[in-house]
Structure 1
Amino acid sequence: MIPQWQKGIVKRVEQATDNTRRYWIELPETPVFDFKPGQFVTLDLPIHEQRNKRWRSYSIASSPDGGNVIELVIVYLEGGLGTTYFFNEVKEGSELVLRGPQGVFTLPENIEHDLYMICTGTGIAPFRSMVNHIKKHNLQHHHIHLIFGTRTKADLLYEDELKALEAVLPNFKYHPVLSREKIEGYEHGYVHSVYEQLCASKPDAHFMLCGWKMMVDEAKRRLLEMGYDKKSIHLELYG
């Protein structure tokens, strides 16, 4: 069943990078907003006369905590009606119309194989939700590799948090990858070389890909060429 539209109130806005902001949104009509890590909400923004052309979907970056405040992380896209509205008009106290949660890009019921989370940009959002959920509930898991690609170190989202999680969550490895900078301690290039090296011996694995279509399509193609079954590859496309 499709969730009903409801009111959201922006409680906080924080500039995360030069072109990315974090938004905390309270859902006053829902005392407990229950969702699965990896799901998204859809917003109805006043940017077009046709309703379905006003809808924009964003993955929830926070993990379920029994409350009714969720976090979204949104990158400004030049010429994009939705992000232009967000960056110019949405402030603390702004009211939004949204529905959710929706989506099936979620953790496996049982994490029975090594898990590779591969993302670029704000594609980190569902994985941040998942990893925090795994830690919070002490879920059984094998090795988890979070491979996060950006242009520069300044573009990395949740950098300190993910490094802290790496230090305390067993078998969790964070792999930041920079395409435009060479910095000691960071991979240089693109996400593809990292998972190809890690999976050179073709371990049993489950892959989750999230980000811009070009990266996701390329990663899926390479993983299939490596011999992985398409059933082990799950996608969430942005744009």
Structure 2
Amino acid sequence: MVETWYNGIVTKIINETPNTRRFWIQVPELQAFDFKPGQFVTLDLPIHEKKNKRWRSYSIASHPNGNNEIELVIVLLEGGAGTTYLFNEITEGSTLILRGPLGLFTLPPEMDRDLFLICTGTGIAPYRSMVKFLHENNIAHPPIHLVFGTRYEHDLLYAEEMRTLQNGMHNFTYHPTLSRDTNPNWWGHRGYVHDVYEQLLSDKRPAHFFLCGWKNMIDEAKQRIIAMGYDRKDIHLELYG
């Protein structure tokens, strides 16, 4: 299969948190950029001679809506060649070479049990795509729990949007949890994502688990979910970093 690379034009950039930016990329060659919620694109960045050292993959944070523009949300990694290039060299109007959509981290064909969408950091991106797609298209779905872990409140991505969705969307609950924030007015959970889903699933009801974020979170979640009595087949992964 021949891989198709496209020229994407960066149409908008917004600083979402102190170290995270949202990039909107339009693909003029396509009338519509068709993808399934949860898929990703790979960027070819001019940061190395070897192509496999130039490639960086990011989940699509927007939902499919029939146009040719997608949104990526990217965190600046200290010492990371790819994100340093994106943050320092890319401005509105820049061109990015990309291919996609790619990946199988998508909604299960049989949505016959609760969905637990567990993430840290920019791992919220594919879940935002999934949840907004279900909501905008009025698709029936089981109860969905988005469990989002980060250190401080200012690191929360799409927080207002998720709270608005929770208020206006049937069977969707947003569970942000902060591991280091000491703000006494914080309204969400404290600690790590694992405590949250374990409490929610004390009844051991059937569930699909989606894990997206840093490797250490995913490794621990896999162990805990299996220890709770769930099958490995119930767990879907997307690894970052």
Same fold (TM over 0.5): yes
Q: Which residue number in structure 1 is paired with residue 58 of structure 2?
A: 58
Counterpart of 2:132, as a letter, is N
Q: Which residue number in structure 2 is paired with residue 207 of structure 1?
A: 209
**Whole-angstrom CA distance in 2 between matches of 1:61 and 1:158:** 10
Q: Which residue number in structure 1 is paired with residue 143 of structure 2?
A: 143
Count of aligned positions: 239
The Cα of 1:3 is off from its aligned counterpart by: 4.2
Alpha carbons 1:32, 1:68 under 8 Å: kept: yes
Q: Which residue number in structure 2 is paired with residue 36 of structure 1?
A: 36
Q: What SS class does the counterpart of residue 185 from structure 1 fall into?
A: coil
Counterpart of 1:72, as a letter, is L
**Whole-angstrom CA distance in 2 between matches of 1:155 and 1:30:** 34
The Cα of 1:38 is off from its aligned counterpart by: 0.2
**Whole-angstrom CA distance in 1 between matches of 2:93 and 2:231:** 47
Q: Which residue number in structure 1 is paired with residue 175 of structure 2?
A: 175
Counterpart of 2:52, as a letter, is N
**Whole-angstrom CA distance in 2 between matches of 1:65 and 1:190:** 33
Report runs of 4+ in structure 1 exceeding 6 Å deviation. none
Counterpart of 1:195, as a letter, is Y
**Whole-angstrom CA distance in 1 between matches of 2:113 and 2:240:** 26
Match of 2:189 among 187, 190, 196: 187
- Residue by residue, what CA displacement relative to the aligned partner does 1:48-96 show, whole Å, maximum 9, x if unpaired? 0111110000000000000000000000001000000001001100001
Counterparts of residues 62-77 of structure 1 (less than 5 Å) = 62-77=62-77
Q: Which residue number in structure 1 is paired with residue 198 of structure 2?
A: 196
Instruction: Give RMSD over aligned pairs.
Output: 0.9
Which moves more between the two structures, 2-11 or 98-107?
2-11
Alpha carbons 1:118, 1:207 under 8 Å: kept: yes
Q: What are the ranges of 5 or more consecutive residues in structure 2 without an aligned counterpart?
A: none
Q: Percent same amino acid at aligned positions? A: 62
Alpha carbons 1:13, 1:23 under 8 Å: kept: yes
Q: What SS class does the counterpart of residue 195 from structure 1 fall into?
A: helix
Counterpart of 1:201, as a letter, is D
Distance 1:2 1:61, change over 3 A: farther
The Cα of 1:138 is off from its aligned counterpart by: 1.3
**Whole-angstrom CA distance in 1 between matches of 2:2 and 2:218:** 27
The Cα of 1:150 is off from its aligned counterpart by: 0.6
Alpha carbons 1:177, 1:190 under 8 Å: kept: yes
**Whole-angstrom CA distance in 1 between matches of 2:119 and 2:2:** 27
Q: Which residue number in structure 2 is paired with residue 238 of structure 1?
A: 240
Using the size of structure 1 for normalisation, the TM-score is 0.98
Counterpart of 1:38, as a letter, is G
- Residue by residue, what CA displacement relative to the aligned partner does 1:164-192 show, whole Å, maximum 9, x if unpaired? 00001111000000001144321000000
Residue 8 (structure 1) aligned with residue 8 (structure 2): yes
Residue 216 (structure 1) aligned with residue 230 (structure 2): no
**Whole-angstrom CA distance in 1 between matches of 2:86 and 2:142:** 38
Counterpart of 2:26, as a letter, is E
Counterpart of 2:68, as a letter, is N
The Cα of 1:139 is off from its aligned counterpart by: 1.3
The Cα of 1:110 is off from its aligned counterpart by: 2.8
